[in-house]
């Protein structure tokens, strides 16, 4: 009998942890039902005592920037935690943590993911904070509309950085071959044919960077989503969107653009070996070229993006993040104080630019001394002047949908097929439109017919 | 072709056939060896290059090797956070693997050697645990740990790692075959307590199985990516796999990280290789012992 009791102990000991696992489901239900209650928030008042904020982001080197704040503000200390980028897991973690009621006070959220968090009720509305409301005029207009999500009286984050688009091009190759630098998309298509004759490709059409394509649609004054009250309208196949798709389809059909998968070695190599001559991309692309195509140093220049109408001045945007206060934070006042400092003060913006090449979203930030210098890789051209112009010309009011991950995935599937010759980009958008509506319906998000 | 025909031909041309089959086997094995070693070779070569050379030079051959300076950069980057991650991984996988092995060994031994009510049921429950993928448990575990406020701590990764249902299964089967009841009876007659018998007699007899369980669990914990991803926010607690992944997602922003990710990946496989090489002796005898019984 004695050894049997001990046996039971041994066995129980080993299976204890296992039992803990299997009861996890109950745990999650309990947490889910509990998470509704703790959403106090709403007020934007100082805590009246020393506060420690947690801030999750994936900006490399941000610790140094936060240290500056912590030294100056002993009463509001910020603990920064860095992890993988948003789609790499941090967004999913935010959702899990919001559900469990232990989300960080502040989180980095890209503009295209904000509506998702808004729809899931994961964000605090910052419009209760006077400082935040007053800060609107400091930001480039369109970046502010990216965080208000088209709502009159709500603010869901502080714009952090932006990605205005312009055209990187190989000025040496264009010069040698006597090709004019295109200023409209029509000229761009003509140049594409000339470049092809010279043995190159004018650019690479990326099937996977759907947000680059969205930037093109954005520039063409197109919309993919709009909201009226709680209802969403999905218009991936709106006229401007289809026009952009047809334009690129034309280039694809005539084999005037390369179709390497973006961000791969082949893609870098295509730029490095002078096979591909231009890239209409965001401001942060300056670094991608410099690192991916080191052999071409000194041969690149930057010009405004080609226009749909002659003499036009519209720009698109690709990328950019906000600093949001996540649901359940008890220190909205302090959190917004820090977020405003981080994203508007010259010292923070300069430090962020130096640490991670972030391009500011404030009007004053576009004129930072560090952004006035010539860049060696671009033959000492002060390239950021071009982007500062573009930043002011980005079409306002482009709206992201609440299920962008799904939109990107579905559109990317269609785009890949189009790049290999089966189907067209326009078909991909039409199919994507229907799949997006299905996805919204599946999540019980109201869709306007 | 009938079996007889094969046999006749086999005896008639035995030596030649065996030479042929040996050659075939060698060729197949060589192909697989190259297939498996090529990525490691690539990783090694890439780790010796500068960030620019990684993309522009021949991927399978050296260009200005600078492994030492790359290693220096890796260990110096952000005050040596990489070494911290490596240490964390060794702690999670090493300590977690040891505890998991001990627990699994005790459990499997008890299930094999003691008769008690509900034994088979308990064993079935444990077997069921083998079928549930760890990924599926990560989110429930996160919510559970949130309740007791243990997320973002060492325990959040360590505690779930010390459970190995597969280990329980393996040790039970092994204990049933390799620990004779007579021996236990003799130990009892000599006045040894159950725990003492377990630790001094049975544990040693079971050691090949335990090494196998340890290796499995070590590798599983080392490669477990989803759990730390969900549980941890503080960089100081990251295991090396998760830390490297974080760097890798930032390549578009900070392209210089590419070199660090590659060198970091190379260094991070060294502990795995060392563990395997030093324990494979035991492992082989462990797998073989089960096979002939």
Query: What is the distance in angstroms between the Cα of A324 and the nearest Cα belonging to chain B?
Result: 17
For chains A and B, CB pairs below 8 A equal 170
Q: Specify the residue for token string 């079996």.
A: B3
**What confidence score (pLDDT) does residue B198 get?**
93
Structure tokens at B148: 């007791």
Domain boundary residue among A334, A349, A371?
Answer: A371
Q: Are residues A141 and A190 in the same domain?
A: no
Tell me, yes or no, whether A383 and A253 share the same domain: yes
In a domain, A33, yes or no: no
Quote the CA–CA distance of A261 and A197 in Å, as a whole number.
23
Q: How many domains does chain A have?
A: 2
Query: Looking at the structure, do residues A290 and A419 belong to the same domain, yes or no?
Result: yes
Residues A148, A287 share a domain? no
Instruction: Tell me: do A175 and A157 sit in the same domain.
Output: no
Give the per-residue pLDDT at B10: 44
Do residues A184 and A274 share a domain? yes
In a domain, A84, yes or no: yes
Q: Per the CB < 8 Å rule, is A14 touching B149?
A: no
CA-nearest of B289, B45, B271 to B176 is B289
CB contact under 8 A, B143 and A96: yes
Average pLDDT in chain A = 89
Which tokens hold the place of A424? 């067209």
Q: In whole angstroms, give the CA distance from residue A317 to residue A214.
A: 8
* Tens-place pLDDT, residues A336-345: 999 999 999 9
On whether residue A223 sits in a domain, the answer given is yes
* Nearest CA-CA partner of A238 in A430, A37, A23, A442: A430
State yes or no: pLDDT of A126 exceeds 80: yes
Helices (H), B148-239: 154-161, 165-178, 181-189, 194-197, 203-205, 207-223, 226-231
CB B143 to CB A4 under 8 A?
A: no
The model's pLDDT over A368-400, given as tens digits with 9 standing for 90+, comes to: 999 999 999 999 999 999 999 999 999 988 999
Contact A398, A318 (CB under 8 A): no
* Residue A138 DSSP class: G
> Which is nearest to A190 in space by CA: A250, A241, A280, A240?
A250
Q: How confident is the model at residue B245 (pLDDT cuts 50, 70, 90)?
A: very high
Note whether B114 contacts A21, CB cutoff 8 Å: no
Q: Are A346 and A381 contained in the same domain?
A: no
Is residue A64 situated within a structural domain?
yes
Q: Is residue A41 part of a domain?
A: no
What is the DSSP secondary structure assignment for residue A201, as one 8-state letter? Answer: B
For residue A11, tell me if it sits in a domain: no
Q: Confirm whether A31 is domain-assigned.
A: no
Of A328, A351, A371, the domain-final residue: A371
Listed by start position, the domains of chain B span 3-47, 70-292
Residue A89 DSSP symbol: I
> Looking at residue A266, what is its pLDDT?
86
Which domain does A217 fall in, by range? 165-318+376-442
Residues A169 and A228 in one domain: yes
Beta carbons of A343 and A361 less than 8 angstroms apart: yes
Residues A366 and A389 in one domain: no
Instruction: Identify the pLDDT of residue B210.
Output: 93
Pick from A310, A339, A371: which residue ends a domain?
Answer: A371
Per residue in B39-88, pLDDT (tens digit) is 999 999 999 988 777 777 788 888 888 899 999 999 998 889 999 999 99
Judged by average pLDDT, the poorest of A61-65, A200-204, B206-210, B282-286 is B282-286
Partners of A161 in the β-ladder? A360
Q: What b/e string do you get for A336-352 counting C-beta neighbours within 10 Å, with b at 16 or more?
A: bbbbbbbbbbeebbbbb
What secondary structure letter does DSSP report for A421?
Answer: T
Do A207 and A333 belong together in one domain? Answer: no
Query: Burial level of A331, CB count in 10 A (0-12/13-18/19+)?
Result: buried
Tell me what the mean pLDDT of segment B104-109 comes to: 95
CATH number assigned to the domain comprising residue A217: 3.40.190.10
Q: What is the C-alpha separation between A322 and A343, in angstroms, rounded?
A: 9
Q: What is the predicted pLDDT for the residue at A7?
A: 46
Q: Which CATH superfamily is domain B70-292 in?
A: MetI-like (1.10.3720.10)
**Tokens matching residue A224:** 């993919």
Mean pLDDT of A203-218: 93
Q: Which residue has the tokens 């002796």?
A: B281
At a CB cut-off of 8 Å and minimum separation 6, what does B24 contact? none
Average pLDDT (B136-142) is 91
* B287: its two tokens: 């797998």
Q: Cα separations (Å) of A287 from A213, A214, A357, A371, A405?
A: 20, 21, 8, 14, 25
Q: What is the pLDDT of residues B190-205, one digit of tens each?
A: 999 999 999 998 998 9
pLDDT at B289 (0 to 100): 53
Mean pLDDT, rounded, for B252-260: 80
Residues of chain B with Cβ-Cβ distance to A24 below 8 Å are 137, 140-141, 143-144
Residue A46, domain member (yes or no): no
Please answer yes or no on whether B55 and A31 come within 8 Å at the CB atom.
no
Q: How far apart are CA A152 and CA A169, in angstroms?
A: 40
CB < 8 Å to B235, chain A: 81-83
Q: Do A431 and A357 have their domain in common?
A: no
């Amino acid at each position: 009998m004695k050894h049997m009791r001990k046996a039971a102990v041994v066995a129980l000991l080993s299976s204890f942890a296992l039992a803990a696992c299997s009861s996890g489901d109950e745990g999650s239900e309990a947490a889910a039902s509990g998470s509704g209650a703790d959403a106090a928030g709403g007020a934007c008042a100082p805590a009246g005592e020393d506060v420690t904020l947690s801030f999750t982001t994936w900006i490399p080197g941000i610790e140094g920037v936060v240290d500056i704040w912590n030294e100056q503000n002993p009463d509001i200390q910020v603990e920064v935690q860095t992890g993988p980028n948003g789609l790499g897991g941090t967004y999913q973690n935010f959702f899990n943590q919001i559900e469990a009621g232990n989300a960080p006070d502040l989180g980095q959220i890209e503009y295209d993911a904000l509506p998702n968090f808004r729809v899931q009720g994961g964000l605090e509305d910052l419009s209760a904070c006077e400082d935040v409301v007053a800060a609107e005029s400091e930001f480039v207009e369109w970046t502010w509309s990216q965080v208000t999500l088209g709502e009159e009286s709500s603010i869901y984050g502080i714009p952090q950085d932006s990605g205005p688009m312009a055209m990187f091009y190989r000025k040496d190759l264009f010069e040698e071959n006597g090709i004019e630098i295109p200023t409209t998309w029509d000229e761009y298509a003509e140049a594409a044919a000339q470049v092809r004759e010279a043995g190159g490709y004018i650019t690479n059409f990326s099937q996977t960077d759907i947000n680059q394509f969205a930037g093109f649609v954005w520039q063409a004054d197109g919309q993919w989503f709009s909201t009226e009250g709680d209802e969403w309208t999905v218009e991936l196949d709106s006229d401007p969107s289809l026009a952009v798709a047809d334009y690129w389809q034309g280039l694809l059909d005539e084999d005037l653009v390369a179709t390497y998968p973006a961000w791969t070695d082949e893609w870098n190599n295509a730029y490095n070996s002078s096979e591909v001559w231009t890239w209409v991309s965001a401001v942060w692309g300056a670094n991608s070229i410099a690192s991916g195509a080191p052999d071409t140093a000194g041969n690149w220049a930057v010009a405004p993006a080609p226009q749909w109408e002659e003499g036009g001045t519209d720009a698109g945007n690709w990328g950019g993040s906000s600093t949001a206060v996540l649901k359940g934070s008890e220190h909205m006042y302090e959190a917004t104080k820090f977020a405003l400092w981080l994203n508007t003060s010259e010292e923070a913006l300069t430090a962020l630019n130096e640490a991670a090449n972030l391009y500011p979203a404030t009007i004053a930030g576009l004129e930072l001394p560090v952004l006035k210098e010539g860049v060696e890789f671009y033959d000492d051209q002060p390239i950021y002047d071009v982007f500062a112009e573009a930043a002011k010309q980005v079409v306002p009011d482009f709206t992201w949908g609440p299920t962008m991950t799904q939109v990107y995935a579905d559109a990317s599937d269609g785009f890949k097929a189009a790049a290999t010759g089966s189907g067209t980009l326009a078909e991909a958008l039409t199919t994507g439109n229907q799949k997006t509506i299905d996805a919204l319906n599946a999540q019980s998000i109201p869709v306007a017919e | 072709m009938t079996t007889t025909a094969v046999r006749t031909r086999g005896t008639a041309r035995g030596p030649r056939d065996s030479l042929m089959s040996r050659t075939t086997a060698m060729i197949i094995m060589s192909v697989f060896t190259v297939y498996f070693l090529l990525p490691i070779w690539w990783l090694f070569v890439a780790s010796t290059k500068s960030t620019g050379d990684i993309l522009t030079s021949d991927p399978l051959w050296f260009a200005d090797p600078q492994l030492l300076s790359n290693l220096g950069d890796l260990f110096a980057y952000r005050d040596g956070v990489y070494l911290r991650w490596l240490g964390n991984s060794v702690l999670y996988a090493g300590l977690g693997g040891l505890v998991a092995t001990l627990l699994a060994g005790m459990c499997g031994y008890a299930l094999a050697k003691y008769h008690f009510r509900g034994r088979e049921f308990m064993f079935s429950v444990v077997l069921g645990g083998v079928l549930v993928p760890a990924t599926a448990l990560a989110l429930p575990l996160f919510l559970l740990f949130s309740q007791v406020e243990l997320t973002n701590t060492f325990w959040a990764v360590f505690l779930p790692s010390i459970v190995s249902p597969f280990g329980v299964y393996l040790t039970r089967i092994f204990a049933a075959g390799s620990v004779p009841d007579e021996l236990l009876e003799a130990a009892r007659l000599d006045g040894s307590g159950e725990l003492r018998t377990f630790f001094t007699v049975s544990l040693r007899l079971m050691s090949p199985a335990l090494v196998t369980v340890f290796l499995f669990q070590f590798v599983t914990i080392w490669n477990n990516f989803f759990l730390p991803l969900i549980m941890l926010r503080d960089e100081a607690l990251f295991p090396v796999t998760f830390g490297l992944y974080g760097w890798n997602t930032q390549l578009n922003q900070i392209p210089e990280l590419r070199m660090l990710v590659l060198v970091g990946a190379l260094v991070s496989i060294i502990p795995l290789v060392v563990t395997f090489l030093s324990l494979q002796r035991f492992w082989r005898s462990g797998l073989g012992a089960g096979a002939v019984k």
